[in-house]
Amino acid sequence: MILLNLFLCVIVTTVGFWILWGAAWPLVIAGWALAAGGFLWWRARSVAELWAWATLGLGLESFIWPILLMTQLKRASEPPSDEELGTILSAVVLGLFSSVFWISFSYGLFKRAWKSTSDSVSMTAADGKTSRPAKRTKAG
């Protein structure tokens, strides 16, 4: 199950990378897919953590997209035309909206994954019960 989710996370982040860079060489995109897959395999311990890292990557890609577009348009011509300014404005609005969405979504997934990890750590290996403090009694 985790391998299927790993494969899907790599596809999602690679498509985001491909959209970000547009006309990148296929070798660069394949390298990104291998790097993302290796990172997710190394870092994620559960399905929730896999998707948390993948959505964080999407959020960062969405944040970088308008910046990259502005630098590309700035190099292309001296004063940007009205059409280029409209493209920049829509990229900034959509990029910031989607980056805030994906980063906040990944935050929720991280909280969920780390909460379940801390819950499983509190289980004792000897008796399978949760560790709780002992009850206090009145000394009488």
Residues 17-36: pLDDT tens digits? 998 887 778 899 999 999 99
Q: What is the pLDDT of residue 1?
A: 84
Q: What is the pLDDT of residue 138?
A: 58
Question: What residue type is 69 in one-letter code?
Answer: L
Residue 131 CA to residue 122 CA, distance in Å, equals: 6
**Does a structural domain hold residue 130?**
no
Q: What is the pLDDT of residue 4?
A: 94
Q: How many CA atoms lie within 13 A of 100 on its CB side?
A: 5
Q: 33 exposed, middle or buried (CB, 10 Å; 0-12, 13-18, 19+)?
A: middle
**Does a structural domain hold residue 85?**
yes
Judged by DSSP in three states, 110 sits in helix
Q: Is the pLDDT of residue 3 over 80?
A: yes
**How many domains, the chain?**
1
Q: What pLDDT digit, counting tens, does each position of 46-95 carry?
A: 899 999 999 999 999 999 988 988 888 776 667 778 888 898 899 899 99
Q: Is the pLDDT of residue 116 over 90?
A: no
Q: Could you list the residue range(s) of the whole structural domain that residue 29 is in? A: 2-116
Which pLDDT band holds residue 103 (cuts at 50, 70, 90)? very high
